[in-house]
Amino acid sequence: MPAATIVVVGAGQAGCQTAASLRERGFAGRIVVVGDEDHLPYQRPPLSKGHITAQVERKNLWLHPESYYAKNDIELRLSTVVSEIDRSGKAVVLASGERLPYDHLVLALGSRNRPLCVDGGGLDGVVALRTLDEADEVRDRLTKATNVVVVGGGFIGMEIAATAAKIGLGVTVVEVADRLMGRVLSDPASDFLLTAHRSRGLQVELRTSVTGIEGDRGVATGVHTADGRHFPADLVVVGIGAIPNVELAVAAGLPTGNGIVVNEFLETEDPNISAVGDCASFPSAFADAAVRLESVQNATAQPRALAARLAGGPREPYEAVPWFWSDQADLKIQIAGFAAGHPTAVTRGDIGEERFSVFCFDSEGRLRGVESVNKPGDHMAARRLISARVPVTPEQVRDPGFDPRALASGRQTTGSGT
């Protein structure tokens, strides 16, 4: 029997998708979505891409028009902070003291930027990018900046760095690891990216970290690195990862680790509370351990699956194949599955032409991830191959006649011995 009132805490992509999917699934009860920002719920991916060069109008960032919420009987409570979850009383307590009773509670709390804890981290000109307000600030500062230092060579850092370089600014990326986007990319893809960005004029400094930011009258002027160097900077963009927002769950006594722990049905230990999106640590069918993903795919597919169950549908495990993408300069990087950390990587296509894919296989020869650069068809095919666990071998991929699209659509036979 579906719950009568579902409260969703978090009005980002995952929270809004939960509400929208509940209505699409015919849930007829009360839905309340609580968010602490004052904007209408918006899309984050364009913020580090088109938005920072002012190409995206604000109204085109909203996930839904304002009228959508009333029309679908979704109570949207913006600028509203939740201070506590009262599990025994089955209510969410707002900072105002108001209590929102729930039959089922969905935690879509998201994540926040990991702060750069060095001297000068609070200077004017040191920024991060997660929210729309922060994106506006980055955009405005890019129009006035001369030298930009990006701290962190991950998704967001590299997108901003590429954009800043494209508009003619001097850009230095400082990354503590020995490769770019090392947490998510295979070695060949990461090596390519380093070469590609350097050839476009980006300065990339690996294996060092920012140890301090110096300023003049409260305004950043440069950064010092652990290897004793100094880089001038009137804009320092920090993109060193995110921390899941688990505090409400911790205070409520729910198990957390790297995120709020949920099972394959996206339920926490409390059957009346689920968690989705950036804040949820879940057992992925495509990973060897519990994972927590910060991606649009995760923030939409998990809520859809959860909403189906909460609206009275069958109790089925969540098992969508994860995918990611990043636009950096004219490079469209797409990842299906999990690409990093596998022993075998087979490259198909032309690295020199910047159009190729890397197929990543685990020690048992199973295809686990595919990275594509400017090959969206390969990416879409790879999603199907990984999702359906279509047998494919490294030998097959090395064959010049291999066509992942044909295999994904069943027009090419699978690998030998299968």
Partner 1 sequence: MVKVTFVRPDGTDTIVEADPGSTVMQTAVANGVGEIVAECGGTLACATCHVYVDDADIDLLGEIGADEEEMLGFTASPREPGSRLSCQLTLSPELDGLVVRVPPEQY
Which residues of this protein are in contact with partner 1, per CB under 8 A? Answer: 20, 24, 43, 45-46, 49-50, 57, 59-65, 67-68, 71, 296-297, 300, 325, 327, 332, 334, 374-377, 380-381, 383-384, 405
Tell me the two tokens of residue 214. Answer: 């110096």
> Taking a C-beta distance cutoff of 8 angstroms, is the pair 267, 280 a contact?
no
Nearer to partner 1, 64 or 200 (CB): 64
* CB atoms inside a 10 Å sphere around CB 146: 11
Tell me the two tokens of residue 75. Answer: 């109570």
Nearer to partner 1, 78 or 380 (CB): 380
Nearer to partner 1, 200 or 405 (CB): 405
User: Which residue do the tokens 């993408």 mark?
Assistant: 325
Nearer to partner 1, 65 or 89 (CB): 65
Give which of 338, 322, 319 is closest to 266, Cα–Cα.
319
Nearer to partner 1, 16 or 150 (CB): 16
Shortest gap between Cβ of 296 and partner 1 (angstroms)?
A: 6
> Taking a C-beta distance cutoff of 8 angstroms, is the pair 68, 17 a contact?
no
Shortest gap between Cβ of 78 and partner 1 (angstroms)?
A: 19
Helix-strand-coil split of the chain, %, nearest 5: 25, 30, 45
Q: Is 168 left (phi over 0), alpha (psi -120 to 50) or beta?
A: left
Shortest gap between Cβ of 48 and partner 1 (angstroms)?
A: 11
Tell me the two tokens of residue 258. Answer: 């790297």
* CB atoms inside a 10 Å sphere around CB 330: 11
Nearer to partner 1, 65 or 312 (CB): 65
How far is residue 418's CA from residue 415's CA, in Å, rounded to a whole number? 6
Shortest gap between Cβ of 325 and partner 1 (angstroms)?
A: 4
Provide the 8-state DSSP code for 217. T
Tell me the two tokens of residue 327. Answer: 């636009």
Shortest gap between Cβ of 63 and partner 1 (angstroms)?
A: 8
Shortest gap between Cβ of 79 and partner 1 (angstroms)?
A: 23
Cα atoms in the Cβ-side hemisphere of radius 13 Å centred on 149: 26
> Taking a C-beta distance cutoff of 8 angstroms, is the pair 149, 210 a contact?
yes
Shortest gap between Cβ of 253 and partner 1 (angstroms)?
A: 34
Nearer to partner 1, 127 or 381 (CB): 381
Nearer to partner 1, 268 or 357 (CB): 357
Biggest CA-to-CA distance, the chain: 69
Shortest gap between Cβ of 54 and partner 1 (angstroms)?
A: 13
